[in-house]
Amino acid sequence: MANMGSKDIARMIDHTLLKPEATQEDIRKLCDEARRFGFACVCTNPIHVTLCKKILKDSDIKVCTVVDFPLGANKPEVKILQTKLACRDGADELDMVANIGVLKSNNLNLFEEDITSVVKAKNKGVILKVIIETAVLTDREKEVAANIVKKCGADFVKTSTGFGPAGANAHDVALLRKTVGKQMGVKASGGIRTYAQVLEMIKAGANRIGTSASVKMMEEIC
């Protein structure tokens, strides 16, 4: 990590705008900023995927969207439809919210089915990150959730929606990294607003960072 420069950091950031009031002009600005700093992707609500793909078509910046965000409490059939529509519109990456209520009810079969349904519905090559909202889980529940996410074949386990009671912290990131090992991604998201926090998350084991404060942080270190 000591040898990482600003470009390396940028390539780990999902430049995010998930506010419901975001306009098309806001989305164009998001994409322009992603191009300017070289972020890994832009992450927006599903309605904006087509516009993002159009704006970023001549770049290597990916377009990410969310599935059943921010609650994750819909039935798997709803998530399947959302996934198929997102892939149809050209999404390169998906951040789905797992059904945390069924996890906490110890209905692990339904928790697994929920994730597997999206794994099967997405297009081949589309990256899937599964949000487990760590702030409402015990450490044991985090481990159980992360192991199931890995078993289902997702590419990343992600800490938070940013709409929960708290966001990412180094303890949770380290726990998830220890649980899933080196073969799977860990995305830290929620409440990350400074460069120091980014470094803390990377040190703990994150290899992707979700934040809406991306530009402020890059201007801080560039």
Residue 150 contacts residue 116 (beta carbons within 8 Å): no
Which residues are known catalytic residues?
95, 158, 187
Q: How far is CA 11 from the centre of its chain?
A: 14
Q: How many CB atoms lie within 10 A of CB 86?
A: 26
Q: With contact defined as beta carbons under 8 Å apart, do 188 and 173 qualify? A: yes
| Listed residue (34, 49, 42, 35) closest to 17, CA to CA | 42
Nearest to 129 by CA among 162, 93, 99, 80: 93
Q: How far is CA 169 from CA 28, 119, 178, 202, in A?
A: 30, 27, 14, 11
Q: Kindly state the tokens that stand for 41.
A: 């992707």
β-bridge pairing 208-211 and 13-17: parallel
**C-alpha to C-alpha distance for 147 and 157, rounded to whole angstroms:** 9
